[in-house]
Amino acid sequence: MVFEILDTQIIEGISIWSLLVTGIIVFAGVIVAKIVRMIFKKKFAPNLPVDTVKTFDKLIYYGIIIIFLLAATASQGIDVGALVVGAGFLGIVIGFAAQSVVSNMISGVFMLIEKPVRQGENVEVVDVNVIGRLIEINTFSSKIQQFDGTVVRIPNEKMFTSNLRTFSLSEVRRSEVSVGIGYGENVDNAIKTIKNAIEKNVVYSLMEPAPEFWISELGDNSVNILVRVWHPRDDLAEVMPNLLKVIKNALDDAGIEIPFPQRVVWKGSSNE
């Protein structure tokens, strides 16, 4: 009775028994894949970069399962060739229908190969105006955690075709702020005051190259000084909020005026 049920043909050449055997082989494949993945993670992963580990992890896991699946179908005499032809035809149909999905998937693969930015690094996706830390490159999309904690999901195609601004090639980066002083003030004295204050209070500011000072503009109300500070690349959040505060306090302490726009209104006399 049981054998009769197992021998029942679902479609031509595929019985319940062959499906069951295929399922068992694929299940065995999943177990083997998990074991190999575990060995890979223990033996090799500690010496590899995080993103490479993730890529290999997926390749190993799904690769073994696919091999077992093919072996299972072949052992049960299921005609894979017909399936492949069918899948090819289906692929074209799906390809047209889901062009962007396929495009995202292929972009994701190219991103993993080209590695314009690595997981864990800070990146600015210029075209979509997103700045943050790349936390994951998935099959169809990448996730960037912005500095306010929110996570933005960007389709891989957009990520791959966008201009990416990264900070990882150099260990340092430069930030700048502009500050205006009164026309009556001594510029050299103001620069010296600001330089001393930065060196003392902005602990992440590099001592060499030292902060740079440019007179950027003789403005309507003030002499504008551009202050450029180098710092370790990941410490923007430590430097920028502090920089203007330190400069303002230093100028105040030194009695150097930071002017603001003023308008003088002359009231005409009725006699004139």
3-class SS at 153? strand
Binder among 121, 204, 254, 258 for another protein (CB under 8 A): 204
Among 206, 226, 236, 240, which residue interacts with another protein (rule: CB under 8 A)?
Answer: 206
What is the token pair recorded at 143?
Answer: 């996730």
Contact between 259 and another protein (CB under 8 A)?
A: no
> 10 Å Cβ neighbour count for 21?
15
203 binds another protein (CB under 8 A): yes
Q: How far apart are CA 238 and CA 51, in angstroms?
A: 27
Q: DSSP class of residue 267?
A: P
With binding defined as CB under 8 A, does residue 53 bind another protein? no
CA angle 230, 235, 239 (to 5 degrees): 65
Can residue 165 be called a binding residue for another protein (CB under 8 A)?
no
CB of 206 to another protein, least distance (A): 5
Query: Interface with another protein by CB under 8 A: which range of 62-70, 143-151, 169-177, 183-191?
Result: 169-177
User: Under the criterion CB under 8 A, does residue 241 sit at the interface with another protein?
Assistant: no
CA distances from 165 to 72, 107, 136, 145 (A): 47, 18, 17, 15
Q: Assess 209 for contact with another protein (CB under 8 A).
A: yes
Residue closer to another protein by CB (options 181, 202) is 202
Part of the chain binding another protein (CB under 8 A), chosen from 3-11, 112-120, 123-131, 204-212: 204-212
DSSP bridge partners of 145: 133, 151
Answer for which of 174, 192, 228, 248 binds another protein (CB under 8 A) is: 174
The C-alpha torsion from 234 through 237 and 240 to 242, rounded to 10°, is -120
CB of 200 to another protein, least distance (A): 7
**Cα 177 to chain centroid, rounded:** 26
Q: List residues near another protein by CB under 8 A.
A: 169-174, 199-200, 203-209, 230-232
